[in-house]
Amino acid sequence: MPSIADRQIIQKTSEIVELRHLRYFIAVAEHESIRLAAEHIHVTQPAISRQIHDLEEELGFALFERTPRGLKLTSAGQAYLRDARKALAQLDVAARGAARISSGVQGYLRLGFVENSGWDGIVPHIFRRFQAEVPDVRVELVPMNTPQQLDEIRASTLDGGFIYQYGPLPESINTLPLTTNEVVLAAPRAWTLPEQGDASARLPLPGVALRQIADWPFVTFPRATYPLYYDQLIGACQACGVTLNVVQEVSTEAAMLSLVCAGIGAAIVNSANLGRPPALCHFASFTDLSIPMPLVFACKIDTPNPALFRFIQTVEAMGRPGLTTG
pTM, two decimals, is 0.70
Q: Are 254 and 319 within one domain?
A: no
What pLDDT score was predicted for residue 167?
Answer: 85
- Quickly state the pLDDT bin for 101 (edges 50, 70, 90): low
Ranges 14-18, 42-46, 178-182, 266-270: which has the least confidence: 14-18
What pLDDT score was predicted for residue 196?
Answer: 61
Task: List the one residue out of 109, 313, 281 whose CA is nearest residue 188.
Answer: 281
**Domains held by the chain: number:** 3
Q: Are 203 and 282 in contact (CB under 8 A)?
A: no
Backbone torsion region of residue 42, taken as left when φ is above 0, otherwise alpha when ψ lies between -120 and 50, otherwise beta: left
Instruction: Report which residue type is found at 102.
Output: S
Last residue of a domain, one of 77, 102, 127: 102
Q: Are 58 and 112 within one domain?
A: no
Q: Are 164 and 35 within one domain?
A: no
Q: Are 116 and 208 within one domain?
A: no
What mean pLDDT is reported for the chain? 86
Q: How many Cα neighbours within 13 Å face the side chain of 161?
A: 26
Task: List the one residue out of 294, 218, 220 whose CA is nearest residue 255.
Answer: 220
Last residue of a domain, one of 57, 80, 102: 102
Q: Are 83 and 32 within one domain?
A: yes
Tell which wins on pLDDT, 26 or 203.
Answer: 26
Last residue of a domain, one of 102, 130, 147: 102
Instruction: Please check the confidence at residue 10 and state whether its pLDDT lies above 50.
Output: no
Q: Are 165 and 299 within one domain?
A: yes
Instruction: Please check the confidence at residue 130 and state whether its pLDDT lies above 70.
Output: yes
- Quickly state the pLDDT bin for 22 (edges 50, 70, 90): confident
Instruction: Please check the confidence at residue 156 and state whether its pLDDT lies above 60.
Output: yes
Task: List the one residue out of 249, 225, 240, 246 whose CA is nearest residue 164.
Answer: 225
Nearest-angstrom CA–CA distance, 154 and 142: 16
Backbone torsion region of residue 70, taken as left when φ is above 0, otherwise alpha when ψ lies between -120 and 50, otherwise beta: left
pLDDT (mean) for 259-271: 97
Instruction: Please check the confidence at residue 143 and state whether its pLDDT lies above 50.
Output: yes
What pLDDT score was predicted for residue 4?
Answer: 36
Compute the C-alpha angle 200/206/211, nearest 5°: 65
Nearest-angstrom CA–CA distance, 28 and 41: 10
Instruction: Report which residue type is found at 283.
Output: F
Q: Are 170 and 316 within one domain?
A: yes
Nearest-angstrom CA–CA distance, 212 and 288: 10
Residue 261: which domain range?
A: 183-291
What pLDDT score was predicted for residue 11?
Answer: 44
CA 225 to chain centre: 24
Contacts of 312 (CB under 8 A, 6+ apart): 160, 176, 297, 299, 323
Label the pairing between strands 217-220 and 245-249: parallel
